[in-house]
Amino acid sequence: MEFIRKRLKSLQYVFQGLFYLIKNEPPVMVHIVISLVWVILGFCFGITTNEWIVQLLCIAIVLSVEGLNTAVEKLCDFIHPDHHKTIGIIKDVAAGSVGFAVIPVTIVLGIIYYPYVTELF
């Protein structure tokens, strides 16, 4: 019973983190809106099961990396609230990691949707 209670407590922290990101971080909201557009397009174009799997994994990767970026930024602000060159580099690298996720995800989603879009024309 203790094992189950600890797992449920862990889920509470998961949802607290999710709600914090959604409520307080505009970049996360931007990614969520873009993700919803991809999901709507998936339904409109009737993408395959495998394409859904890839699309959902892509969305999860971008949102996860954005969450980690936010955590790094908050930690940096906590450790050194004033402007500091090294802290700035750390934040830039964390933001760059989001780019490393977004760029290939955009390419993958482009590959998924290219045949559907070309069918329209």
82 token code pair: 């004033």
Q: Residues 43-89: pLDDT tens digits?
A: 999 999 999 999 999 999 999 999 999 999 999 999 999 999 999 99
Confidence of residue 94 (pLDDT cuts 50, 70, 90): very high
In the chain, % of residues over pLDDT 90? 92
Closest Cα partner for 32 from 12, 43, 18? 18
Distances (CA, A) of 103 to 15, 38, 46, 73, 97: 28, 15, 24, 21, 10
Predicted local distance difference test score (pLDDT) of residue 38: 98
Predicted local distance difference test score (pLDDT) of residue 1: 83
In the predicted model, what is the mean pLDDT of the chain?
96
Please report the domains of the chain, with CATH numbers, ordered by start residue.
2-120 (1.10.287.3610)
